[in-house]
Structure 1
Amino acid sequence: MIPTLAELRTALDEGRATSLQLTDAALAHIADPAGEGVRVYTKVYSAQARAAAQASDLLRGAGLARSPIDGLPISVKDLFDVAGEATLAGSVALQGAPAATQNAVIVQRLLAAGAVIVGRTNMTEFAYSGLGLNPHYGTPRNPWDRAAGRIPGGSSSGAAVSVTDQMAVAAIGTDTGGSVRIPAALCGLTGFKPTARRVPLAGALPLATRLDSIGPIAASVACCAQLDAILAGDAQPLPKPARLAGMRLAVPTNIVQDGMDSHVAASFRAALSRLSAAGALLEEIVVPEFDELASINATGGLSSAEAWTWHRALIEHAGDRYDPRVLSRIRRGQTMTAADLLELLDARVRWIAALEERIARYDALLMPTVPIIAPTIAELTEDEAYYRTNALILRNPTFINFLDGCALSLPCQETGTAPVGLMLAATGGRDRHVLALGMAVEALLQTPA
């Protein structure tokens, strides 16, 4: 069982653990030659982390803990700037690039809160896939059925496995089309995608700035709420669990349940049954806007357009160093015209307005985060299987990024079975509401039936 931030904070406050002990344990897991550390981290800050942990212990001993995460080992995705280092974003194409002159805003906020940053985590190159495969640094294996070599999900692949394998107590990733929620779902963790404007993007290498958001992967909803508050600079008291009885929850029936494997379908339906028995008011609805999104994105979509704009100069002199599967997706933006982009932006405004009106009377949407359990890495060797599976895994989370909404993925499978994520989503700005509802749902699903 992965300890929560609150449990570790209590252990620190009561003197049952020190930050240095927690940090040394995380570093030992990273360095274990039999473990996944070499594929999970692209950079490890052993000396800096131990020094930060010692400083945290001194401050705590003087009664000066800086925040609820002071002294806790945290990992950050490889696309956040760290002063003095080039930001590589899981690629080799940026090797030799100028070093960052300052920390990303979220890195600085974590440091100010006393977090011990143990290293940078591996990811899909340039964050452009939901599978988590990386041909340059290796692919971390999912903790579920590790011998079979299953994908961790992406793009924040190393982030999730750093938490499952106790190489960090929590991780910070990014989510442009599900890149926090997908690895959380496939690895049995909780992941939160905030409304994009909630957390500053400054110092994060972009994929698509109109869709990018920054969020945590951790052991519980409360952990995610605590980290989200720090990342967002939100000084309000943390959300409290909502009351499930009377909550109006919409369950879309079109698109999002297509292609579910039997285990995901059974887990999803069991979760819905428990929510209904607890007094939540579930209503199955058709969401026509979901059917429309493919045609809206037919010319390439926002990710392709924005990725091509950022990458085109780099591709000119280092395109041969890209993962070909990533490069091919970025190049889709090359053929988009100004008219295509303007029509897409206008269509998005109309789409958001229509969907917000349709779901205004509901407290949240419920859907499977990912419709299948994690496939094996070997299954995705052929390009056709790779692209088909990538599209399927990204499908549901992407709706919420295009909506500019917020969403939480939390485990809903029976203990001892393959991880399955339940996604709770709402319109933009309802982050605290989603977290409060998620706490209640989590408590219900963790109670023995």
Structure 2
Amino acid sequence: MTDPAPDLATAVDALARRRTTAADLAAQAIAAHDPELNAYAAWTPEATRSQAAAADAARAAGVDTGPLMGVPVSLKDIYAAAGWPTHAGSPKALPAARWERDGPLVAKLRRQLAAITGKTNTVEFAFSGLGTNPHWGAPRNPWDRSRVAGGSSSGAAVSVREGSALLALGTDTAGSIRVPAAMTGLAGLKLGAGRWPTEGIVPLSHLLDTPGLIARTARDLALGYGALDGDAPTAAPAALPDLTGVRLCVPTGVVWDDASPGVTEAVERALSALEAAGARLLRRDVPEVEAAIEVFRTTNLAGPDLYRLLATELDGWLDTVDPSIRQRLDKATEVPAWQWLAARARVAEVSRDAAQRLRDCDALVTPTVALSPPEVEAMQAPDRFAAANGLALRNTAVANYLTMAGVTLPAGLDAAGLPVGLQLLGQPGTEARLLALAQAVERVLGTADDRLGAPPAPTRGR
């Protein structure tokens, strides 16, 4: 196999059939890396080659360590991993004793002999949804290099889109996996609250943080989920046979407000295709969606957690924090304790109510992001940054504030020719079922390559 693997599933199958080697995949990943897209904080091709060689040697000896054996995988620079410092998007490396040893998810990658390609760039401490970072620079959107790639798992998405990784590990507190996946035309999975461990991941919010995956297709997400869920790799959740009778709840109201030109139209075209394939669209008011967005807008639940980390465990870090993040951190200190606790209680309440209201639905469906990816330079203005950041995270935050699992898939292109995502949300603990549905949806809509085509020739914006 001389051409880059188009997706994770194809590469895994080729490895199993001995039609390619891990060394080949590593070489293709290294050749695909485009430094101008700025995906990586630590790009380590020699380590990738060494890990690939170990996987090939094990396979030659008849050892099968799991589906990710020899597969190029990137890590968001918020995951601790032996052999790499962890900066979490800040200008200094975090203390090595805690943040340079493998956490549980990275340890699973090691046991499967995955070829870790490096640490991908992130928003500083994962505290915004646009992907900007004054210390490391903003990863650029491959569809238009003058624009953001979304965040906070910005480099994670770019690593998959450029082909230097076939699977990326990210984190999601209010949309930090699904926003960059949607903005770059990829598939993204946010686990339900508590499904996967957050140990070994620099915390932003103990209530809202969840790990997750970015890949090219829903099928790839299912494969990655099976490989990393539980104590040992399992088979990927299989796709539903079709969409006949599948009930998709489409909330009215705020999730459609202020959408950039072409976003609503792309999502509605995708919904019409799903309906034609047999799905039932249940368009209705969902008060809990509105309530979750209201909590997101009015109470900074993550800010106090992050401020505590910086003030008590990372001495001196507050003085170097990105000003746009420091501004929101300082505001978080003004929130009375009773209000923060009331917001947490409200999250628990609306999560319970949503689970009851959505019992007759197989998934809640919305546009993933209402906002077309803005230009990087435009985000230097604080007022424009704040407005864009809030709009970028609004719809995805619904999942975190209702403790749901979420998948985003490419729906089409907006009026600017930039990717638009379709978001599917399910109750926590139903990740396998949600991935089975996502794969059936993908069969109808097509993969990103089918529905969006390839990104245009580079538009240099740097």
Same fold per superposition (TM over 0.5): yes
Tell me: CA distance 1:295–1:411, structure 2 relative to 1, closer, same or farther (3 Å): closer
Task: Map 1:52-71 to 2 at 5 A.
Answer: 52-71=51-70
Structure 1 residue corresponding to 2:236, chosen from 222, 232, 238: 238
Which residue of structure 2 aligns with residue 76 of structure 1?
75
Structure 2 residue corresponding to 1:224, chosen from 217, 221, 224: 221
CA–CA distance in structure 2, aligned partners of residues 269 and 341 of structure 1: 37
SS of equivalent residue, structure 2 residue 250: strand
- CA displacement 1:188-213 (0-9 Å, x = unmatched): 00000011211111100000011111
Which residue of structure 2 aligns with residue 408 of structure 1?
407
Task: Map 1:39-438 to 2 at 5 A.
Answer: 39-83=38-82, 85-94=84-93, 98=97, 100=99, 102-146=101-145, 149-233=146-230, 235-242=233-240, 243-297=242-296, 300-313=299-312, 317-413=316-412, 417-438=417-438
Contact 2:80 2:102 in 1 (8 A): yes
Structure 1 residue corresponding to 2:22, chosen from 19, 35, 40: 19
Contact 1:56 1:114 in 2 (8 A): yes
Which residue of structure 1 aligns with residue 459 of structure 2?
none
The one-letter code of the counterpart of 2:421 is: G
Report the TM-score, using the length of structure 1 for normalisation.
Answer: 0.93
Tell me whether 346-355 or 153-162 shows the greater mean CA deviation: 346-355
CA–CA distance in structure 1, aligned partners of residues 117 and 31 of structure 2: 11
Tell me: CA distance 1:390–1:126, structure 2 relative to 1, closer, same or farther (3 Å): same
CA–CA distance in structure 1, aligned partners of residues 97 and 326 of structure 2: 22
Tell me: CA distance 1:26–1:101, structure 2 relative to 1, closer, same or farther (3 Å): closer
State the identity %. Answer: 37
The one-letter code of the counterpart of 2:385 is: Y
CA–CA distance in structure 1, aligned partners of residues 297 and 239 of structure 2: 40
Which residue of structure 1 aligns with residue 12 of structure 2?
9
CA–CA distance in structure 1, aligned partners of residues 113 and 275 of structure 2: 41
The one-letter code of the counterpart of 2:268 is: R
CA–CA distance in structure 2, aligned partners of residues 43 and 86 of structure 1: 9
Tell me whether 59-68 or 200-209 shows the greater mean CA deviation: 59-68
CA–CA distance in structure 1, aligned partners of residues 346 and 95 of structure 2: 40
Tell me whether 100-109 or 111-120 shows the greater mean CA deviation: 100-109
Contact 2:227 2:234 in 1 (8 A): no
Contact 1:276 1:282 in 2 (8 A): yes
1:131 offset after TM fit, Å? 0.1
CA–CA distance in structure 2, aligned partners of residues 134 and 159 of structure 1: 14
Which sections of structure 2, spanning at least 5 residues, go unmatched? 452-462
1:297 offset after TM fit, Å? 5.0
Contact 2:259 2:371 in 1 (8 A): yes
CA–CA distance in structure 2, aligned partners of residues 437 and 151 of structure 1: 29
1:300 offset after TM fit, Å? 2.8
Tell me whether 266-275 or 327-336 shows the greater mean CA deviation: 327-336
- CA displacement 1:56-112 (0-9 Å, x = unmatched): 111222332311121011100001111254421011144666563530111111111
1:335 offset after TM fit, Å? 1.9
Tell me whether 45-54 or 206-215 shows the greater mean CA deviation: 45-54
Tell me: CA distance 1:95–1:345, structure 2 relative to 1, closer, same or farther (3 Å): closer
Tell me whether 406-415 or 115-124 shows the greater mean CA deviation: 406-415
Which residue of structure 2 aligns with residue 441 of structure 1?
441
Contact 2:72 2:114 in 1 (8 A): yes
Contact 1:217 1:224 in 2 (8 A): yes
Contact 1:305 1:332 in 2 (8 A): no
CA–CA distance in structure 2, aligned partners of residues 297 and 419 of structure 1: 25
1:220 offset after TM fit, Å? 0.8
The one-letter code of the counterpart of 1:361 is: D
Tell me: CA distance 1:151–1:348, structure 2 relative to 1, closer, same or farther (3 Å): same
Contact 1:83 1:99 in 2 (8 A): no
1:228 offset after TM fit, Å? 1.8
Report the TM-score, using the length of structure 2 for normalisation.
Answer: 0.91
Tell me whether 308-317 or 421-430 shows the greater mean CA deviation: 308-317
Contact 1:81 1:204 in 2 (8 A): yes
- CA displacement 1:139-181 (0-9 Å, x = unmatched): 11101123xx110000000000011111111111000111000
When the two structures are aligned, how many residues end up with a matched partner?
443
CA RMSD after TM alignment:
2.2
Contact 1:132 1:156 in 2 (8 A): yes
Tell me whether 153-162 or 240-249 shows the greater mean CA deviation: 240-249
1:430 offset after TM fit, Å? 1.1
Contact 1:226 1:238 in 2 (8 A): yes
Tell me: CA distance 1:4–1:299, structure 2 relative to 1, closer, same or farther (3 Å): closer
